[in-house]
Amino acid sequence: MTVKQEDLEIATSAWTPRLLVRAAMVASFALGVGAWLGYLVAHEPVVHSAGQEPERPALAGAAELAVVAPLGPGAALADFAVTEILAVRDGALRVVCEREAVAVALDVALAAEGGPTPPAVAGRYAIFYALRGAATHEEGARLAAALAAVLRANEAAATPAGMGPYRPGPPRSTEP
């Protein structure tokens, strides 16, 4: 088989420099899209780092709310406002109170022999606190005592599922 000079000219003349640039651009775009999609499919979702928003804990259900009734978001506890009540997690339910730039998180757990000494006790419950902002230990202790009075008024309420002795450790979240 012999190739004629005319056939070569037609074949080479069809690929102009402009057409070559256009083909290279289309191929580059297709490769880029394919690489991006391959990366998305092959990699797991990114886990939140320390600077990103952590997963929010669940809000309290009926069992937790019965223990701290009549408290709820917006209610007053001492001279603070309750901003949220969180479900039992790591053995404790959490009541978050704020006033201006001050926040106190109150953890309610089951009282236990040999555990850390709680700032307040109400029957079977021990109350611990964590301070945020310019909150003082006096404010934390005062709020713990006020919450103890609420818990005593609800002694007949069943202990929420999952509640256990207080286990000190790293903060449960970046929120108070």
* pLDDT per residue as tens digits for the range 47-101: 555 566 666 778 888 999 999 999 999 999 999 999 999 999 989 999 999 999 8
pLDDT value for 114: 83
Residue-range domain boundaries for the chain: 5-42, 62-153
Which residues make beta-bridge pairs with 59?
86
Q: Are 154 and 64 spatial neighbours (Cβ–Cβ below 8 Å)?
A: no
DSSP 79-131: TEEEEEEEEEETTEEEEEEEETTEEEEEEEEE--TTSPPPSEEETTEEEEEEE
3-state secondary structure of 66: helix
Tokens 């109400």 belong to which residue? Answer: 122
Over 70: is that where the pLDDT of 26 sits? yes
pLDDT band at 107 (very low <50, low <70, confident <90, very high): very high
pLDDT band at 122 (very low <50, low <70, confident <90, very high): very high
Of the listed ranges 35-44, 55-64, 85-94, 105-114, the least confidently predicted one is: 35-44
Chain length of the chain = 176
pLDDT value for 61: 87
pLDDT value for 130: 92
d(CA 55, CA 48): 9
* Stretch 13-41: mean pLDDT: 81
Question: What are 141-176's pLDDT values in tens digits?
Answer: 999 999 999 999 999 999 999 999 887 765 555 354
> Which of 70, 74, 131 shows the shortest CA–CA distance to 106?
131
